[in-house]
Structure formats: structure tokens, C-alpha cells
Amino acid sequence: MNRRLELRVPAPPGLDAGAVQVEVTEPGGRTYALPAFQAGGELLARVRPRAAGPHRYRLVAAPPGGPPRALAEGTFDVAGGGAPGPVGRSPADPHALARADGRDFVPLGENRFNVYDPSWQGGASAASYVAAMAAHGMNTLRVFVFTGCPRAPPRDPQPGCLEPALGSFDEAAARDYDRIFEAAEASGVQVILSVFAVGFTPGDAWKGWEDNPYSAARGGPAATPRDFFDDPRARALAARRLRYVAARWGYSTSLLAVDLLNEPEWDGAIPEDAWIPWAHAMGETWRRLDPYGHLVTAGPVGLHWNVQRDERAWWADPVDDVVQWHRYGKDVYEVHALERALCDTVEDTRRYERPVLVGEFAYGGEPKPAYDHTHVGIWSAVFCGAGVLAHSAPPFNEDSDEPMTPERGRHFRALADFLAALGERAPLLPAAAEAEAPPGLRAHAVARGARRALWLLAPAKGYGEPVRGARVRLPLPEGRWRVRWVDDLTGAELGREEVRAAGGPALLRPPPFRRHAAAVLERDPL
């Protein structure tokens, strides 16, 4: 199976690579175009063939105001079938994502924003880190493309800086991202690439606007961070970066989504009336560049922290494929507060009839080695109807950062294994559940096809002590149901029961548990 075909030709002197594209004609006669990029003295076009058989291609330069001219043309043959398409929105439910073969996809993983920097990974390469993620059951990685490029050792510019000067893309940094995508494809991990991240805060040592090549201080067109979003020349240059991203990594089936912007409220205090129209324009630009249909999203903090109003206009925008928001703060350090905040916001944002992603959450001060904040966060988000990425990084501040240790990673493995037991052929959808006893017990249910699953969070009072005599009501279709209760970290069986449902709420009696527990329910065949 051909996943990537590279077409290479020498770059003619003086030719702007931003004016070059490849036109591909498939065996059935359908033609599509995608941008090319320059690396060293060559022009490259990366194609992901979608069909078996003979293909034709033309590499064409179309400079603005000038006639197009063919730089190369030829044929290639695809044996054994084309590559699968990327993960997309599920045709079975607007809130779900699905792989090209129809299997449900629930994002579960990390916001490990600079996975390309070995000094932040204990010396580990991106490839080894991505492989470790997959071993922990994670399927999604969110990565930043730095926009601010401070000139500081040990590398000039810093790792992750793709565009150190306007319109000039650093080949060493680009190869770092190449390795991430190659590792992701080898490990079955999806990548969310945040294309404009970090670099819009005046006077900040790390997020400094003064280090942003789009700023007037660096010779760019934008006198202020707001100008970056409004100025026509700045927008045209931003679209050029998107074009490069599409040309270099748009081929990959491991590109889950293009994430246009990271946390504008936190980085630069950019008002919503500036970044939302910009995101709409950039999203439309991406649609024109990408023939493969990768998802578009943006990563604002969320409804609990805004500058001017909130993100609802963006989430309602048809260009936005995934409703993404982040959650941090002292008000959610306690796990019951976290569970309520995540579930309330998921429920609120599912109204936009598209998938919801908790793109970042963490608490660096959570007690070790239990990592209960991480555990409750990922289970509650998934059971309430969202994908979820825990933030992980070396210690930076208590509010947000926590390395992904093996002790922390096993919580993802436990959830991934639990979800796998439910199958993958239908969307995972929230279902009604009601906790009757003891007071304060929280119950969340999901349905996947004919199966049901339940997750319980023990009451805050006495949290950590054994919970006995719990009762939960769960609506079930008529029939006899087998219930298997498990420890949601170890997978060990806690007990079994059978219930008969009459087409309404059935009473379940969980066995004793501590903190939280889960159950899988299957109806006996008639």
C-alpha cells in the first residue's frame, strides 16, 4: 500500500515554491491538486494515492499574474489499493469521529506540545516518545508549531520554530515534524498540529511578541498582536504558512486535524472578534489547499476564560469541524469539581452538533503515584461525550504541567482497554444514568451499538473509603442483561450480576469499590 509518494524536480532559480502545485489524475479520471514545497535545491510534492492503478501527474508553476507552466509530468502506478483516508466526522452521528473504514475513533492522548525537543523528553526522540504513547493506549498527540522564535542557545532558532523569518521555512525544524508524522504512522497515533502557537504576548520571555517574525519589531507587517489577525498582508503570509503545512504533511493519514491557533486568551489576550474571523478565513484557506479532507479546529481555553465574549461564534462556524476547549485552574484541582466542570461543558458544547475535544487539561500538583486527577479527567470526559488530551510536560507550574510517567500513563491504558472491549463499529454515545445511593455518587453511561457501559465516581464525602450498597438506575432495552463490574485501573473483576429490563430504567447494584468503578453490560441473545 502506498502511503506517500514523493515527486521531486530541481527547483528552477528564482522560482517561488509557493506558486507550485501538483495536479494528479486518478485512474477513474478524477483530478485534484495539492501544493508543493521546496527543500534545498528541490521542489517536492507529497501525494497520498487514494486508488489502485495508473496515475498521471503534472508539476505546475502558476505565478501570480503570469501564465502557468509545466515543470514536470509523468505517470506512477499504485499496486494493492490506495491509502485509507484520514479520520473524519462520522456519518453515523454528528458528535463522533470515525476512521475511513467506519470504525469509531475517540481521541485519547496527550498535549505534548514540543515532543520534538529531546531536552524536554529526558533525551528521548520523538519516535520513541510516540511509541511509548501508543504502548500506554494513547491514540492522539497534539503538537505546537511555535510562532515566536527567540534567539537563544542551544539552538538558533529554538526547536519547533518552523518559520524563523517571514516566508522562510527552516528545513531542520521541518524534518523534526517529518519524524513525528513518520513515528505516528508507525505507531498508529493521530497528530493534531497547532499551526500558530506561542508568540503573541508582548514583553513575555517565552511567549514574546517581540520574537514573532510577523511583528514589526522583526520586520513583519503587524505593529501589534491584534494586527496579525486583521492586517491583509499578515493574513496572506499566514496563509502561506498553511500552504507549506498542507504541502509537507497534508498527505498523512496520521494528521487528525489542523489546529489553527492555540489559546489566544492566554497568549496575547486576543479578543474573540479578532481571532474568530481570522480562524474562519484560515479554515477556508485550508479547505482550498487540502484535497484529502483533514479536520479543522482551533484551541481556545474555553468558556471559563474569555477576553471579550466567548468562542460560541467559532464553534457554530461551519468551517470548524471539532469543538475544542481546555480546562485548568484551582477550581478544578479537586476531582469531583473537575468531573462536574468537564461534563457540564461537554454537555453545553455538544449542542453544536459536532465532535467535542478537551484539548488540554492537567494539574501538576495532583498526588502521586495515584494520579487520580488525570484518571477522573479522562474517564469523565469520555463518558460525558468528548475526546480528551491530558497536558504533559516537565515541571513548569503547578496549575498545568506534569510529566507523563509510566505511573500516570497506565490510566490511559486502562481506559483504552476498557473502550476496546466495547468494540469499534458504532459511535460511543452518552446515555442516561441515575445514581440513587449513596448520596453524592456520580454515574455516567455510554452506549456503543448493543452494548452499554457505566462509570461511577464515589461521593466526595469519604472519598477513598469503600463504597457499599450503591444503587444505580440505567435505562435498558427489554431483555436480560449480563453486567460485569471491573476495577477501572487494574481491569480486575469486582463482580457480576444479571438484570431483567422491561424497556425502562433497570436497577443495578454495584459491588463494593473505592473511588471509582466501571461496568460493561451485554444483553443475552433471544
111-165: pLDDT as tens digits: 999 999 988 888 889 999 999 999 999 999 999 999 998 765 544 567 899 999 9
pLDDT in tens, 168-178: 999 999 999 99
Q: What is the pLDDT of residue 158?
A: 77
**Residue 336 within a domain:** yes
Between the alpha carbon of residue 171 and those of residues 41, 86, 386, the distances in Å are: 12, 25, 36
Under 8 Å between Cβ of 36 and 43: yes
Could you list the beta-strand ranges (E) of 106-205.
108-111, 140-146, 190-197
Higher pLDDT, 151 or 422: 422
Backbone conformation region of residue 56, classed left if phi is above 0, alpha if psi is from -120 to 50, else beta:
beta
Strands 479-486 and 513-514: unpaired
Q: What is the pLDDT of residue 481?
A: 96
Within this chain, do residues 72 and 125 fall inside the same structural domain, yes or no?
no
Query: Where does 429-522 have alpha helices with state H?
Result: none
**Residue 56 within a domain:** yes
Within this chain, do residues 239 and 140 fall inside the same structural domain, yes or no?
yes
Q: What is the pLDDT of residue 1?
A: 39
* Least confidently predicted of 26-40, 52-66, 225-239, 305-319: 52-66
Span 52-73, average pLDDT:
90
Within this chain, do residues 216 and 324 fall inside the same structural domain, yes or no?
yes
Cα 515 from Cα 458, distance rounded (Å): 5
Under 8 Å between Cβ of 437 and 456: no
pLDDT of residue 260 exceeding 90, the answer is yes
Cα 510 from Cα 486, distance rounded (Å): 10
Higher pLDDT, 199 or 4: 199
Within this chain, do residues 320 and 392 fall inside the same structural domain, yes or no?
yes
286: helix, coil or strand?
helix
Domain end (from 399, 420, 441)? 420
CATH number where 459 lies: 2.60.40.1180
Q: What is the pLDDT of residue 76?
A: 93
pLDDT of residue 245 exceeding 90, the answer is yes
Cα 358 from Cα 349, distance rounded (Å): 11
The pTM assigned to this predicted structure is 0.96
Within this chain, do residues 20 and 118 fall inside the same structural domain, yes or no?
no
Q: What is the pLDDT of residue 470?
A: 98
Q: At 195, which amino acid appears?
A: V
Query: Of 494, 427, 424, 481, which is closest to residue 455 (Cα–Cα)?
Result: 494
Span 3-25, average pLDDT:
92
Under 8 Å between Cβ of 457 and 376: yes
Q: What is the pLDDT of residue 2?
A: 41
Residues found in the chain: 526
Span 247-253, average pLDDT:
97
Q: How confident is the model at residue 525 (pLDDT cuts 50, 70, 90)?
A: confident
Within this chain, do residues 383 and 437 fall inside the same structural domain, yes or no?
no
Q: What is the pLDDT of residue 351?
A: 97
Q: What is the pLDDT of residue 372?
A: 98
Cα 267 from Cα 273, distance rounded (Å): 15
Domain residues for the domain of 510 are 432-523
Span 216-222, average pLDDT:
95
Q: What percent of the chain has pLDDT over 90?
A: 88
Domain end (from 420, 446, 462)? 420
pLDDT, the chain, mean:
94
Within this chain, do residues 45 and 149 fall inside the same structural domain, yes or no?
no
Under 8 Å between Cβ of 119 and 158: no
Span 384-392, average pLDDT:
98
Q: What is the pLDDT of residue 458?
A: 98
Q: Which residue has the cell 515543470?
A: 71
Q: How many structural domains does the chain have?
A: 3
Cα 389 from Cα 398, distance rounded (Å): 18
Count of CA atoms in the C-beta half-sphere (13 A) of 371: 21
Under 8 Å between Cβ of 200 and 147: yes
Strands 255-262 and 190-197: parallel
Under 8 Å between Cβ of 196 and 260: yes
pLDDT in tens, 441-466: 999 999 999 999 999 999 999 999 99
Task: Cell numbers for 514, please give them.
Answer: 473505592
Backbone angles phi, psi at 435, to 5 degrees: -85, 125
Under 8 Å between Cβ of 333 and 373: yes
Domain end (from 45, 78, 111)? 78
pLDDT in tens, 509-523: 999 999 999 999 999
Torsion of Cα atoms, 470 then 475 then 476 then 477, to 10°: 160
pLDDT of residue 292 exceeding 90, the answer is yes
